[in-house]
Amino acid sequence: MNNFVKRTITGAFFVIAIVGSALLGAKVFSSLFLFVSLGGMYEFLKIGKKLGLSPARFPAFLFAFLVYGLIVLTLTGLLNPEWLLSSLLLIPAVMTIELFRKSETAFLNIGFTLLGIVWIVVPLALLTGFFKPGQETGWLHSGALLGFFLILWIYDSGAYIFGSIFGKHRMYERISPKKSWEGFGGGLLAGYLTAFLISASFLEFTLIQWLLIATLIIVFGTLGDLIESMLKREAGVKDSGSILPGHGGILDRFDAVFSAAPVIFIVISLLR
């Protein structure tokens, strides 16, 4: 099976899983993305090994689970926002664990573990906040979330197609040799077209607001892609993992989400 067929089949299941879980409601979606978060942390910690670090895996997974749960339960109204303050205990907890481990990279391990939670777990947990309050399931409940992913996916596909055909001027060759400004421009047009089309169905935001959201998704999504490429280049790995045949790992697939989700969460919170 060639790589294109693998990418197509994996991509189809990937889209079905995300769209289906979003339509089924916040509980199903957040449960799915808990596993995505933990899978992303697993890949991140493996890359840490490549960088010569030795973060404590079990505590890292435990803290990732707790932080994800605190954010999701707060966003769904099951916990008071004050409970989020308890996540600050994460810092002394990680430091204390490293204090009793025999590691020559203790403070680097601390920083790497905390970075993984902030960079991977927090943004994925914030996606639960995209659901429209007052609804339970279905199209109206998940419009902002589906719009976010549709713009991101179609921008990414447009950038890939335009870049493959017309790409000549490299965007940031030192980090990502294949990214081009022509690809970015093509993806930008595809993203704006998507925002225009979904504004007729997802009425929570106006066309102008959707175009603003699309702009931020594209800009910060591109930065997220470059940041993950920088991490892989420094670690000397091609893909973060192999769980998604033809696409690499979870970090490869969600790198744009890590940077774009917090920004869009803030914007839609202000617009509602």
* 11-59 per-position pLDDT tens digit: 788 889 999 999 888 999 999 999 999 999 999 999 999 999 999 999 9
Q: Measured between alpha carbons, how far is 126 from 201 in angstroms, rounded to an integer?
A: 23
How large is the average pLDDT for residues 137-145?
A: 75
Kindly list the domain boundaries of the chain, sorted by start residue: 26-130, 134-272
In the predicted structure, residue 163 carries a pLDDT above the cut 90: no
Give CA–CA dist 198/151, Å, rounded: 9
Q: Rounded CA gap, 186 and 221, in Å?
A: 15
Residue 8 binned pLDDT confidence (cut-offs 50, 70, 90): confident
Share above pLDDT 90 across residues of the chain, in percent, rounded to a whole number: 63
- Report pTM: 0.92
Alpha helices in the chain (DSSP H): 3-24, 26-50, 57-75, 90-99, 106-116, 122-126, 139-166, 181-198, 207-235, 250-271
Nearest to 32 by CA among 63, 72, 60: 72
Pick the range with the lowest mean pLDDT from 66-70, 175-179, 251-255. Answer: 175-179
Q: How confident is the model at residue 139, as a pLDDT? A: 60
Residue-averaged pLDDT of the chain:
89
Q: Kindly report the number of other CB atoms within 10 A of residue 35's CB atom.
A: 10
Band of pLDDT at residue 137, cut at 50, 70 and 90 = low
Contact by Cβ (8 Å): 11, 247:
yes
The answer to whether residue 129 scores a pLDDT higher than 70 is yes
Confidence of residue 203 (pLDDT cuts 50, 70, 90): confident
**pLDDT reading at 224 higher than 60:** yes
CA 90/CA 152 separation, integer angstroms: 31
- Could you tell me if 74 and 80 are in contact, meaning their C-beta atoms sit under 8 angstroms apart? yes
Spatial neighbors of 28 by CB under 8 A, at least 6 apart, are 21
**Stretch 96-108: mean pLDDT:** 91
pLDDT at 198 over 70: yes
* pLDDT at 2 > cutoff 60: no
Other Cβ atoms within 10 Å of 83 Cβ, number: 13
- Residue 13: per-residue pLDDT: 84
